[in-house]
Amino acid sequence: MTAAAAHFDATQGVLIASGAWRVDAAAALPRLDGHIVRVLDGTAITQLDTNGAWLLLNAVRPQPDDPLPELRGFQPRHLSLLNLVAEHAATTAARIEPPRAGLLETVGRSSYAVARHISGLVRFIGQLTLELGQLIRKPENWRWRELGAQVSTVFVGAIPIVIGMMFLLGVVFAYLLGSQAQQYGAAITAQLGTMKVNEEIDAITTLGLSPLAVLVIPRILALLIALPLLVFIGDIAGVIGGMLVAQAQLDISTYMFVDRMESVLRLKTLMVGILKGPVFAVFIALIACRMGLSVSRDASSVGAHTTSTVVQSLVAIIILNAIFAVMFVRMDI
C-alpha cells in the first residue's frame, strides 16, 4: 500500500494525487498558495475513503459552493465516492459557531435563570405544602417504611462519622454539621437524579403515586428528625474531645473543665445550636430534592445538579446563619 502523495503543477493548474487517500493523508496535501486547481488527477490513487475524498475536495475547492475542478482518471468507484462526499460537503465548511453572548446578554440570561430558579423553588414549596396537607387529611398514605429507612441512613448511619469528626476537631460543630447535612443533600440529589434518568419517577407518577409523597417528604422529615439529634451527639463528642485535650496538654482536670464549662457555656448556646439544626435541615432537603427532581434525562446532568445542591446548601446555611444572628440580637438572646 503506497502512502498518499500529491503534486501540484501550478502552470497547468493540475493536482495529481496518488497512493492511499485516507484520514492520515492530510499532511500529503501540497500548499496551493491561492492557485486555482482546474484539474484533479486521480489516476494513481490506489485507495480512497470518505475522509480522504473530503480532504482532496476541501483542498481543491475551499468553498463548497465553488465549482468542482475537472476530475480526471479516477476509478469509477473512487469517482462515485467523491461525488457522494461532494453532495454532502455543504455543511462541513460553514462553521456553525455558537452565538457568542455579550456582557449584557450574559447578565440578563443569568438574572433570568436565577429568577426562574427562585420561582421554581417557591412553586416546589407550594406543591409540597399542598401534598403535606393531603397527607395530614389521609394519614394512611404516609410512607412510614420509607421514613424509617431514611432516618436510619441519615441518622444512624451518620452517628459514627459525627462522633469521630467532633471528637477529633473539638468545638467547630456548626460548620461540620452543616457539611454533614450538605453531604446528605448531595446524596439525595444524586439518588433522585438517577431515578429521574431511569424514568423511575415517571413510573411512580404513572402508577398513580405522588413522587413528592413517596420520595420527597420522607427525606425532608428524616433530615428534620435527624439533624437536631446529630447536633446533640456531636456536641457531647466535641466536649469530651476538648476535655481530653485540655487534660493532656493544658493540665486542666476533668472536674475543673466541667466546672468552668458550666459558667462559660450556658444552656442557651446549646439550645441555639439545636434549634438551628431543623431549619438548616428543611432548607437543605428542599434544595436537594428539587434539584434531584429537575435533572434532565442524561448522566452529566446528575453530576451538575449534585454540585449545584452543595453550592446552594452552603449559600443557604450562610444566609440562614445571618438571619439567625440578626434575630438573636433583636430578641436580645
Instruction: Output the smallest distance, CB 67 to other proteins, in A.
Output: 19
Residue 13 and residue 314: Cα distance in Å, rounded?
Answer: 67
The residue (of 98 and 208) whose beta carbon lies closer to other proteins is 98
Q: Does 307 bind other proteins (CB under 8 A)?
A: no
Q: Does 101 bind other proteins (CB under 8 A)?
A: no
* Residues 258-287 close enough to bind other proteins by CB under 8 A: none
| Stretch of 91-99, 129-137, 184-192, 212-220 contacting other proteins, by CB under 8 A | 91-99
Closest by CA to 286, choosing from 256, 312, 321, is 312
C-alpha separations of 13 from 68, 72, 108, 133, 287 in Å: 13, 13, 53, 82, 67
The residue within the footprint of other proteins, chosen from 80, 110, 198, 253 (CB under 8 A), is: 80
C-alpha separations of 288 from 114, 142, 185, 230, 312 in Å: 17, 21, 5, 19, 9
The residue (of 210 and 301) whose beta carbon lies closer to other proteins is 301
Q: Does 77 bind other proteins (CB under 8 A)?
A: yes
Please list, residue by residue across 249-281, b when 16 or more beta carbons sit within 10 angstroms of its beta carbon and e when fewer do. Answer: eeebeeeebeeeeeeeeeeeeeeebeebbbbbb
DSSP letter for each residue of 24-47: GGGGGPPP-TTPPP-EEEEEEEEE
- State the angle between helix axes of 103-137 and 267-293 in degrees (0 to 180), rounded to the nearest 10: 110
Q: Does 156 bind other proteins (CB under 8 A)?
A: no
Q: Does 247 bind other proteins (CB under 8 A)?
A: no
Instruction: Output the smallest distance, CB 275 to other proteins, in A.
Output: 42
The residue within the footprint of other proteins, chosen from 3, 5, 26, 314 (CB under 8 A), is: 26
| Segment (H or E) for 289 | helix 267-293
# residues near other proteins by CB under 8 A: 31
- Give me the 46-75 binding string for other proteins, x by CB under 8 A, dash otherwise: ---xxxx-x---x-----------------
Binding stretches for other proteins (CB under 8 A): 22-24, 26, 49-52, 54, 58, 77, 80-81, 84-85, 88-96, 98, 296-301
